Amino acid sequence: MASFAVDLHIHSCLSPCADDDMTPNNILGMAHLKGLDAVAITDHNAWQNLPAAAKVAEQYGIVLLPGLEVTTREEVHMLCYFKGLEEAAAFGEVVQKTLFLPNNKALFGNQLILDENDAFLGEIEPLLIQASSFGVEELLPLARGFGGLCVPAHINKKANSMISNLGFLPLNRPYAAVEVFKKMPLQADTGDYLLLNSSDAHQLGDISEREFYLRFEEKSLESLFAYLSAHVHESPGFF
Ligand SMILES: [Zn+2]
Ligand SMILES: [Zn+2]
- Domain with 209, as residue range(s), is 2-229
The percentage of residues in the chain with a pLDDT greater than 70, rounded to a whole number, is: 97
Average pLDDT over residues 19-44: 98
Q: Residue 32 has what pLDDT? A: 98
Whether 237 maps to a domain, the answer reads no
Average pLDDT over residues 68-75: 98
Q: What is the mean pLDDT of the chain?
A: 96
Q: Give the total number of structural domains in the chain.
A: 1
Whether 235 maps to a domain, the answer reads no
Is the predicted pLDDT of residue 235 greater than 80, yes or no?
A: no
Whether 215 maps to a domain, the answer reads yes
Ligand nearest to the CA of 15: 2
Is the predicted pLDDT of residue 237 greater than 60, yes or no?
A: no
CB atoms within 10 A of CB 191: 11
Around ion ligand 2, residues with a beta carbon closer than 5 Å are: 69, 200
Average pLDDT over residues 111-122: 98
Q: Residue 182 has what pLDDT? A: 82
Whether 6 maps to a domain, the answer reads yes
Query: What CATH code is carried by the domain that includes residue 59?
Result: 3.20.20.140
Q: What is the pTM of this model?
A: 0.97
Residues ≥6 apart with Cβ < 8 Å to 186? 155, 156, 180, 195
Whether 238 maps to a domain, the answer reads no
The percentage of residues in the chain with a pLDDT greater than 90, rounded to a whole number, is: 92
Is the predicted pLDDT of residue 85 greater than 70, yes or no?
A: yes
Is the predicted pLDDT of residue 228 greater than 80, yes or no?
A: yes
Q: Which band of pLDDT confidence, cut at 50, 70 and 90, is reported for residue 183?
A: confident
Q: How far is the CA of 187 from the centre of ligand 1 (A)?
A: 18
Cα angle, residue 82 at apex, residues 224 and 146 outer, rounded to 5°? 140
- Amino acid identity at 228: L
CB atoms within 10 A of CB 223: 16
Q: Where are the beta strands (DSSP E) in the chain?
A: 2-10, 38-44, 63-71, 77-81, 112-114, 120-123, 149-152, 178-181, 195-198, 213-216
Whether 28 maps to a domain, the answer reads yes
Q: Residue 236 has what pLDDT? A: 53
Average pLDDT over residues 84-94: 98
Phi–psi pair at 198, nearest 5 degrees: -135, 170
User: Is the Cα torsion angle 90, 95, 99, 103 positive or negative in sign?
Assistant: negative
Give the pLDDT confidence of 36-65 residue by residue, as tens digits: 999 999 999 999 999 999 999 999 999 999
Q: How far is the CA of 104 from the centre of ligand 2 (A)?
A: 20
Q: What CA–CA distance (Å, rounded) separates 54 from 183?
A: 28
Using DSSP, state whether 139 is helix, strand or coil.
helix
Ligand nearest to the CA of 164: 1
